[in-house]
Amino acid sequence: MQGAMANMKLADDYRVNEAQLYSQIDSLKGDEPVIVDFDETLWLRNSTEAFLSNVSPSIWVAFWLQLLGLIRPWRWASPHNHDHVRDWIRVCVVVMVAPWSVWQWKRVAATKAKDYLNRPLAEALKASNQPVFVASYGFQFVIQPMLDALSVSWPLIVASTLRSAPSLRRQGKGAAVAKQLGLPAVQRGLSITDSKLDLDLLAMTRLSALIRWPQAKYIQAGRKPMLPFVYLKKVKRPTESYFTRAILGHDYLLLLLVFSATSSTPIASAICLLLFVLSYFTAYEVGYYENDRLGILHEAKPKVSKAFSELGDNFVPIVAWIFAGLLAIPAAILATEVNGLRQSFVGGMPANAMEVWLVFMGLLVAVRLVFAWFNRLPEMGRVVPMLILQGARSAGYLLLFTTSLVGILFCLTQALSKWIPYVVYRFGGSRALVPNHLINLLLLLSAVGLLSASGQVNGIWDHWHTWLLLGYSALRGVIELRKFGVYLKPYSGSES
């Protein structure tokens, strides 16, 4: 902490305004060099992001950049300093999957250079007649064509290549510049940058300027259109592991227990259900986006993350529907090979797959309509459509697949056990305290017990699937008792 505070103080010592910077430039004499940063200093954008944004088709690049953003491989490649490798990994991947990107950049580099040139700074440097050198952590193949287009004799003495980028970051810009110009020359000169990453260079030069230009903007590439689950991760639930914990760890696991466990083709069923779940929640994100957008417009205290204002415009509902439809195609085809598909789907495999796809897409449309109704109701009234939405997340798959009677009951009790905490929340309570797994266990035991006592269903307790689902529910309920159990203890002592 003390080291960080010291760096902040050191950075503030170098901070100047434009008038002070131009005064420093005017004070230079002889061959005292100027070492100027490129990104967001000499050029008012980030060159790496500009290169990535220029690649077409944009949706192809967005796919890879957002996938990298979700996986974040730089956490493993450089655990202590992600900046050393983050941009390098992103650029390397894009160049590999879109090798035409370098050619595309060369076509627009001249126009881009002139559009975002920091003209006041460039004119001041030209008028000074001092030797000017450009040093950047950006990529040489991106920056050099722009410098060439500006018709200036300012050499690019430090820049990254696809091979050297990580080592340059580790070495530091100051050491790299000193290696090119010699330490004595650097010590006589002026360094200009907007970045605290260049503190080592700022500490070397006689005159130093850390300055943020108001016209400079950092615009991250590949944000639009958002791919499946990016909105969920970055905007809707940025502090939760919702995809792994809720979608895979809860919804998908339940579907495996209900449907795949009773199928004679469990592996095909599991893969098929995974694709359907991914498709389902890809379309479901449209409802999440609409919920945030309408919440800001109509609610007094909308529960919307701060990321919505920055990233919300990158979500394109039609793209989400396209991905949902595409993910459902292999799922529907595979469903025809699953033992457990409803017998109502008859005919050859192509006809079956089309029927399955249409039924599933019909489910998604119906859920979307209910979600739209939910988003347009006052908060208290939302408890009604929420019951339907919770039911569709598990029981909706009964339109496609068969299971045991207890499996059907389990789908319904799961929906109720997820709905009850929402009702508590909307009526002023805390859903965090509601033991929904215990509620599910009690509801399932009650439903199975009533059916057994009615005498209308024979052998329900003899079916292994009954015990599998009851066992799972009991296990989750026991785990939940570790928190809820304190409320089951009687009062101790006498009341006053």
Question: What pTM does this model have?
Answer: 0.79
Residue 355 in domain: yes
With beta carbons less than 8 A apart as the criterion, state whether 428 and 421 touch: no
Coil vs helix vs strand at 469: helix
Chain-centroid distance of CA 89 in Å reads 17
346 and 303 assigned to the same domain: yes
What are the pLDDT digits (tens) for 118-166? 999 999 999 998 999 999 999 999 999 999 999 888 999 999 999 999 9
pLDDT of the residue at 241: 87
Count how many domains the chain has: 3
Residue 106 in domain: yes
Give dist(CA 392, CA 422) in Å, integer.
Answer: 16
317 and 344 assigned to the same domain: yes
Which of 178, 210, 242 is the endpoint of a domain? 210
Which of 378, 396, 414 is the endpoint of a domain? 396
390 and 437 assigned to the same domain: no
Q: What CATH number corresponds to the domain at position 148? A: 3.40.50
- Least confident residue range of 35-39, 101-105, 473-477: 473-477
Which residues, at least 6 apart from 396, have a Cβ–Cβ distance to it below 8 Å? Answer: 280, 363, 367
Taken in order 446, 452, 457, 461, the sign of the CA dihedral is: positive
Taken in order 289, 291, 295, 297, the sign of the CA dihedral is: positive
With cut-offs at 50, 70 and 90, classify the pLDDT of residue 104.
Answer: very high
187 and 237 assigned to the same domain: no
Residue 23 in domain: yes
pLDDT of the residue at 126: 93
pLDDT exceeds 50 at position 2? no
Give dist(CA 298, CA 303) in Å, integer.
Answer: 12
115 and 11 assigned to the same domain: yes
Residue 248 in domain: yes
Residue 247 in domain: yes
What are the pLDDT digits (tens) for 167-178? 999 999 999 999
Q: For tokens 């909308």, name the residue.
A: 302
Gyration radius (Cα) of the chain, Å: 30
The residue segments making up the domain with residue 252 are: 225-396
pLDDT of the residue at 431: 82
Coil vs helix vs strand at 328: helix
Q: What is the secondary structure of 264-303 as a DSSP string?
A: SSHHHHHHHHHHHHHHHHHHHHHHHHHHHHHHHHH-SS--
51 and 92 assigned to the same domain: yes
411 and 316 assigned to the same domain: no
Q: Within 13 Å of residue 300, how many CA atoms lie on the same side as its CB? A: 2
Mean pLDDT of 252-256: 96
35 and 158 assigned to the same domain: yes
pLDDT exceeds 50 at position 496? no
Strand partners, 132: 34
Residue 204 in domain: yes
245 and 381 assigned to the same domain: yes
Residue 220 in domain: no
pLDDT of the residue at 8: 44
Mean pLDDT of 274-282: 97
pLDDT exceeds 80 at position 339? yes
Structure tokens at 86: 């983050």
Which of 210, 241, 271 is the endpoint of a domain? 210
Mean pLDDT of the chain: 90
Closest to 259 (Cα-Cα) out of 459, 395, 361, 442: 395
Residue 493 in domain: no
Chain-centroid distance of CA 71 in Å reads 9
24 and 162 assigned to the same domain: yes
415 and 447 assigned to the same domain: yes
Of 478 and 366, the one with more pLDDT: 366
423 and 475 assigned to the same domain: yes
Of 459 and 80, the one with more pLDDT: 459
Percentage, residues of the chain above pLDDT 90:
69
Q: Which long-range contacts (CB under 8 A, 24 or more apart) does 26-31 make?
A: 26/128, 27/207, 28/128, 28/130, 28/189, 28/190, 28/207, 31/130, 31/131, 31/185, 31/188
